[in-house]
Every structure is written in structure tokens, then in C-alpha cells.
Amino acid sequence: MAANYWASTQRKHWLFTRERLAEIRESFKEKDKASHTHFPLPDQRLLNIYFNQQLIKLGKRMSTRQQALATAQVYIKRYYTKNEIRNTNPYLVLTTAFYLACKMEECPQHIRFVVSEARALWPEFIVPDVSKVGECEFSLISEMQAQLIVHHPYRTLSELQPELSLTSDEVALAWSVINDHYLTDLSLLYPPHIIAVMAIIVAVVFKPSSQTAFHGSAAPIAGAMRDGGMNILAALSDKGGAGPPPRIQKLIAWLAESEVDIKAVIESTQELVSLYEVWEQYSEKNCKELLGRMIRSKSLDK
Amino acid sequence: MLGRNFPYFNSVGGFYSRENSRRQPGTGYTSKVRVRDKYHIVGFISSGTYGRVYKAVGRNGQGGEFAIKKFKPDKEGDIIQYTGLSQSAIREMALCSELDHANVVQLAEIILEDKCIFMVFEYTEHDLLQIIHHHTQPQRHPIPAAMVRSILFQLLNGLLYLHTNWVLHRDLKPANILVTSSGAIRIGDLGLARLFYKPLNSLFSGDKVVVTIWYRAPELLMGSRHYTPAVDLWAVGCIFAELLSLRPIFKGEEAKMDSKKTVPFQRNQMMKIIDIMGLPHRDNWPGIVHMPEYSQLQSLAMSRAPNHISRTSNLGSWYQNCLKNGGYSVNSSVGTPGDDGFDLLSRLLDYDPTSRITAKEALEHPYFKNGGPISANCFEGFEGKYPHRRITHDDNDIRSGSLPGTKRSGLPDDSLMSRAAKRMKE
């Protein structure tokens, strides 16, 4: 339910195995091989980075909170498990997901305002007609079976902050790791508390001196994280020994005691590592061009 | 029945438009499920600001009766356009999809079709408004005490579920408390409900006026910005009182919003509460001095002659009168809610929202603990019969997309067709 992740539609209907996700995507490809050949798109994660940057631009002009953007990102991901992206106008889906998420997260924006802002950002792809967003909203809600309540890891993070006596720097870093996880499939693969624990581990273990170095130039951090993940694994299996500093020991002790699925936490750390690695290849221009060509050739903006 | 055998007619719905196969590329939306393929509309139940509710039965072997709530689409001119769904429709859809409890209305499915939303709920034969009304006809006869107790217990049980899941109902009133033919209580109409776990905007900012005025908690009347689940418990108190007395306990008149759209102080409603509960003061409501409308309350108290405004609560004598007029007593066949009932009522109608009893505490109250088991069927042992929900057939046309007065080009006028079909049947 709304407060209870374990009884939620998110857990019942929107949690996939990696295999299942791959299967779904493969089936889209099978159905329309021609489109896939003619309209290659960047790696899903690179597209997600692009979508996220566009959402932030849209949200900024309306001073939207992060949680609404996070919900919009989850809606987009869910939607594209039901629909092949090559049959949609992603800019319209993005705008609509944003519009719907704002209502759901109690910071509603008027549809006219959202459409005019979206049109200012992407004049080629958004027509000045609110009914397009209205219609796409039906499509989104229907594909998600009106299961619109999303559980985010932010809440677990703030609940664990006092318990693990996290510093405000650590919380800030964990928060940005959570922001980043929406760029991967993680929110479709693991429950929010796994992501929160992963983010806390990353924040406490790596503690980068400055947060600004975190995005983009991720390769060194990625390497450090991979080793760090191993360290935790090692420490968990070997509870004696000199081991890591007390702060990390405390976290490890908590992890061992809690019934958190450690394997899932490690896997999600690895997912994040590979995100930072693939980030190197990100090119906004490339995403924009490939999407633009697809939309125009297939008249998806009409 | 005509509609069952003849594919192009719905016996009451009129001409049946086949799937229009204009499936656009991109996000052009066509419903995969059609309301009238799955449900046969039996009649019209009620309408409200949100839209209309119809009674339906499942088609094609899908058994059961349903109440289908159709949200009114926004109209621009004569043509219905997609204009974006209201926040309350979104909330109701999302919450109903997520909620699952024996004392909360059960959603079967949601169909989005031809620019309309159809929420398909299980059908409930009764509601508390109708039951209370029935007990005033032809003359007043009390609702048996055991039935009141079962209703209240189930209502609080559903409310506890909502509150533990961070859902505020915000519009509890007899009409929204549904009762199945087997006596189960279902909290209905979550159109105003919302989550209260760390909302992004303060709960106040969204919808300025909440809860039908007779059931509105005093902190809302006093302009509180930080209201809590306690508002729902005040409403439960009002419903409890109404089940016993068969009249709304605080039947005030709503002061309408002025042209500047500022929310007025609900003087009349506040006075109705004070008449029974006494004037609230620091001792029974320490936070009252910080309430935005505190000065209004003071001027209200000043404007009345001192003898005409009660400083202390008259709820005790109200209750005793109510039991007496209703014929509630240990020796009578209807039984009595007794002193425990009074204690619970006074805890629900506590002025101070911070000390008002919670749903969880209320379920543990002696009123429920003492006096034997509580039936999950509120009608158990009740001899009488309640009338079935009134269904009319003036508007059986759930037909998507068009409302009376809006014709679609190229199709015969549906309403004429449906009348013709009915005549043919007769």
C-alpha cells in the first residue's frame, strides 16, 4: 500500500528480473526489425541520461522537486516496458510523464503551462495543443493500470540517517547516488530499500572529497567502487581481523544484522559502476539527432 | 435480452460503435478494453460534480454486480477534448488501485475509453445515508445498538487501514460509507483522499476547502494549516452521533466563498458545534490560541450574550436525550450503546486534534471490548429490511464520449436509438 512497499503494486507488478526485461526488449525488436535497423538508438542508459537532462530542464522552469522528476522517470521506464520507444514521440511521453508525476506528487502544474514550457524547449517535437498531452496521459495511465504510486529510496535514506548516524555530506552523496540510479534499470529490478542501502554504502565507503567530481568523470570512482564492493564482501565474510575503519565497521555490522539482501546490494552497486563507465560515451548531440531523425521519419510528432 | 444476441445493439445503450480502427502511430490512444463489451448497464444510480455512477452487471460469464463511476470529461464547446485529468481523479485512481482492505471500497478495474474514465467498483446495495433515512420513515425508529456498534467498528477498522497507509480520507460522511447486502462496511469515495507522508506542498495548499461542512473538524473551521488524520475521526464522531439520533449532530449552514475566493470563517457551523460542545478554550484545546481564526472565535463569543453561549460541554445531556428519544435502553429490544458509547463519542468529538482518539485507540475502546463479539455483518440479528438502492432508467447510456446534447457526426443519435430499442423490447 501507499506506505507499505511489501503490499504495493510496485512490488507486485513493476518488479522485473533482468531476464524478463531483456525478453521484453527482445520481443519489441522481433516485432519490428526494420525500425530497429533503420533507427538505431544509443544505449538505454545514455538515453536515460538524455531524458533525465531534458526533464530537469523542464522541471527547472517550474521549480519542481526532485521526487516528482524521479516519479516521472519511473513512469517513462514502466511505459517503455509496454511500448516500443520507436512507436512513440519520446518528447511527448516525457512531457506527459512529468505532468502526471507532478499531480501524483502533489505539486500539480497546469497542462497549458507544461505544454508551453515543453514547446519552448522542444519546438520541433511538441505541438501547441494540450489535447496531445491529455491523450498521452490516457495512454500512460492505461499502460500502468493506474498504478501510479511510486516508492522511492529517498524515504528509506532519511529513515536510516539517524540509525546509521550519517553525516549531512554522506546523506547528500547518497541522495545523488539515488538520483543517478534512475538512469539505469535498477528501479525496475530492486526494491527501493536495496537502492537506499546501496547508496549509503557508496557514500560512506567512497566519501569522495568533492561531490562535483562524481558525475561525468566517473571512471576512477567506478574503479574505486568496484574495489569497495569487494571490500565489503570481504569484510562481511571475515568479521574478525583488522578490517576497515570503525565508521564502515558500524555500517557492516548493521548490514549483517539487518536482513537486507546483500547480494542484491552488491549487484546494484555493479549496475551503478557500469553506468558511470558508459557515461563516458554520452553525447547529448548524438541522442538528440538519433531521436529527432526517428521522430521525423516516422512522423511520430503528428 | 436484445443486447445479448444482437451484436450491434446494447439493449439500453443504443447504437454500438465498433472499434474505430483509426489507430494512430505514436501515442494515439485507443482503449484495449471497452466498457460495454464487458459490462451491461442496468441503470443510473447518482451523479455528482465528478460525474455519474451506473449500476452494471458483468457480461460474458463475468458474474457479479458493479457500480461504474464515469468521470465527467471537460467539454470545450460541443466537442469533448482531452484536457488533462483532474488531480482528484488521478488520486482516486491511484489510491483505489493500491488499496486492498475488507472495509474499503473494492475496485474491479479502471477503463479509460473515448476520453472518459470508468472506474468499475463492486456494487454495494446500501449506504449509511440511505439506512439513516430509512429509520426516519414512516416514523422514527432507532437503528439497533448492535448494528451501530458493528458499523462503527468496521468503519474504524477501514480508517485504521487508511491511516496506517498514510491516506487521509477527508470526506467521510454517511453517503460515502457504503454497506453491502451482507452487512459489510466499505469506505467509499476516495476522490478527496490523499497521502500525508511528507507531502511536497503543505496539505493546506492544495484544496482549500475539504470535507462536507457538517462533518468538518473544528481545527479546519479554525483555519488550521497542519491538519492530520484526526479530521477523519471527528467525522466518525459526527457519524456515530447521527446513527443514534438519525439527524446530523452539527447541522450548520455553509458560508460561501466570496468573490475574492477567500475562504470565509464558518461562523454558523462553529456555532452549531459550540451549542453542544461548549466554547473551546485553552484548557480543552491548548493550541486554539494559535489558530488563524482565533480572533473570529473570540468575536463570535463576544457577540452572544454571556448566558447564550455555553462554556461547558452539553454533550452528556445531548446523549441522554438521544438515548431517551430513540428508546435505547438495556431492557429494550434495540439495546443501548450505554456509557461506553458516550465515552467513545466524547473522545471522537474532542476539540483538541492532538488528544482526539485515533482509529487504533478507538478500536481498543471499552465500547468495543465490552459487550460481546461484534459481527462482521452489521445486519446480523436485524429483522427489518432495507430497500434496495434506487436505480433509474432515464439515463442508462454510459456511452463513451458523448453527453446529452452532443451528437457525433456520422452516427445515429444514440439516445433516440436506445429509446426505440426499449420500445421494441416492450
B50 assigned ligand-binding residue:
yes
| pLDDT at residue B8 in the model | 31
Question: Which chain A residues are within 8 Å of B206, Cβ to Cβ?
Answer: 106, 108
ipTM of the prediction: 0.88
Interface-testing mutation among A106, A113, A136, A158, with chain B (most B C-beta atoms within 10 A): A106
Task: Please state, in angstroms and rounded to a whole number, the distance separating the CA atoms of residues A52 and A274.
Answer: 18
Residue B178 DSSP one-character state: E
Cα-only R_g, chain A: 20
Q: Which CATH class is domain A153-280?
A: mainly alpha
Better-predicted residue by pLDDT, B17 or B52? B52
CA terminus-to-terminus distance, chain A:
38
User: Which three-class secondary structure string do you get for A117-144?
Assistant: HHHHHCCCCCCCCHHHHHHHHHHHHHHC
Cβ-defined contact of A3 to B164 (cutoff 8 Å): yes
Contacts of B107 (CB under 8 A, 6+ apart): B96, B97, B99, B119, B120, B121
Residue A106 Cα, gap to closest chain B Cα (Å): 6
Which one of B127, B171, B189, B350 is the catalytic residue?
B171
B136 assigned ligand-binding residue:
no
Q: Which of B162, B163, B155, B160 is nearest to B378 (CA)?
A: B155
Residue with C-alpha cell 462553529?
B270
- pLDDT over threshold 60, residue B199: no
Residue A18's H or E segment, with its range, is helix A18-31
Among A88, A99, A131, whose Cβ lies nearest the Cβ of B81? A131
Residue A79 Cα, gap to closest chain B Cα (Å): 11
Residue B38 Cα, gap to closest chain A Cα (Å): 17
| pLDDT at residue A227 in the model | 59
Question: Which chain B residues are within 8 Å of A8, Cβ to Cβ?
Answer: 98
Inter-residue contact A70 to A182 (CB < 8 Å): yes
Query: According to CATH, where is 1.10.472.10 located in chain A?
Result: 5-150+283-298
**B367-394: average pLDDT:** 90
Burial class (CB in 10 A: 0-12, 13-18, 19+), B255: middle
| pLDDT at residue B14 in the model | 29
Task: Please state, in angstroms and rounded to a whole number, the distance separating the CA atoms of residues B423 and B426.
Answer: 5
| pLDDT at residue B10 in the model | 31
B29 assigned ligand-binding residue:
no
B351 assigned ligand-binding residue:
no
- pLDDT over threshold 70, residue B9: no
Task: Please state, in angstroms and rounded to a whole number, the distance separating the CA atoms of residues B215 and B52.
Answer: 23
Encode pLDDT of B271-284 as tens digits: 999 999 999 999 99
Burial class (CB in 10 A: 0-12, 13-18, 19+), A270: middle
Encode pLDDT of B221-254 as tens digits: 999 877 789 999 999 999 999 999 999 999 999 8
Percent of chain B whose predicted confidence (pLDDT) is above 90: 58
A146-158 burial, b at 16+ Cβ within 10 Å, e below that, comes to: bbbbbbbbbbbbe
Inter-residue contact A164 to A174 (CB < 8 Å): no
Retrieve residue B116's grid coordinates. Answer: 472518459
Closest residue in chain A to residue B195, using alpha carbons only: A2
B194 close to A (CB below 8 A) = yes
- Chain length of chain A: 302
B13 assigned ligand-binding residue:
no
Task: Please state, in angstroms and rounded to a whole number, the distance separating the CA atoms of residues A280 and A46.
Answer: 10
Inter-residue contact A252 to A229 (CB < 8 Å): no
DSSP bridge pairs for B69: B53, B119
Fold annotation for A5-150+283-298: Cyclin A; domain 1 (1.10.472)
Domain spanning B35-122: CATH 3.40.50.12780: no
Closest residue in chain A to residue B197, using alpha carbons only: A3
**Annotated catalytic, B171?**
yes
Task: Please state, in angstroms and rounded to a whole number, the distance separating the CA atoms of residues A186 and B281.
Answer: 54
B48 assigned ligand-binding residue:
yes
Inter-residue contact B73 to B80 (CB < 8 Å): yes
Inter-residue contact B340 to B365 (CB < 8 Å): yes
Interface-testing mutation among A94, A142, A143, with chain B (most B C-beta atoms within 10 A): A142
Query: According to CATH, where is 3.30.200.20 located in chain B?
Result: 35-122
Q: Which range (A227-231, B43-47, B67-71, B158-162) has the least confidence?
A: A227-231
B100 close to A (CB below 8 A) = yes
Encode pLDDT of A254-296 as tens digits: 888 888 998 999 999 999 989 999 999 999 999 999 999 999 9
Encode pLDDT of B56-79 as tens digits: 999 988 889 999 999 877 665 667
Cβ-defined contact of B84 to A134 (cutoff 8 Å): yes
Query: According to CATH, where is 1.10.510.10 located in chain B?
Result: 126-370
Among A68, A99, A147, whose Cβ lies nearest the Cβ of B84? A99
Contacts of B28 (CB under 8 A, 6+ apart): A135, B22
CA terminus-to-terminus distance, chain B:
11
Closest residue in chain B to residue A113, using alpha carbons only: B84
A168 close to B (CB below 8 A) = no
Task: Please state, in angstroms and rounded to a whole number, the distance separating the CA atoms of residues A81 and A213.
Answer: 33
Task: Please state, in angstroms and rounded to a whole number, the distance separating the CA atoms of residues B323 and B394.
Answer: 42
**B114-119: average pLDDT:** 90
Task: Write down the mean pLDDT value for chain B.
Answer: 82
| pLDDT at residue A216 in the model | 43
Closest residue in chain B to residue A8, using alpha carbons only: B98
Residue A213 DSSP one-character state: G
Confidence (pTM): 0.84
Closest residue in chain A to residue B116, using alpha carbons only: A138
Cβ-defined contact of B82 to A134 (cutoff 8 Å): yes
| pLDDT at residue B117 in the model | 92
User: Which residues of chain A fall below pLDDT 70?
Assistant: 1-3, 207-244
User: DSSP secondary structure string, B335-357?
Assistant: ---HHHHHHHHHHHT-S-TTTSP
B22 close to A (CB below 8 A) = no
Percent of chain B whose predicted confidence (pLDDT) is above 70: 80
Among A199-213, B45-59, B150-164, top mean pLDDT goes to B150-164
CATH assignment of B126-370, among 3.90.110.10, 3.30.1360.200, 3.40.50.300, 1.10.510.10: 1.10.510.10
Contacts of B332 (CB under 8 A, 6+ apart): none
A2 close to B (CB below 8 A) = yes
Q: Please, which contacts does A160-165 make with residues 24 or more away whose CB atoms are closer than 8 Å? A: A160/A196, A160/A197, A160/A200, A163/A254, A164/A200, A164/A204, A164/A250, A164/A251, A164/A254, A165/A250
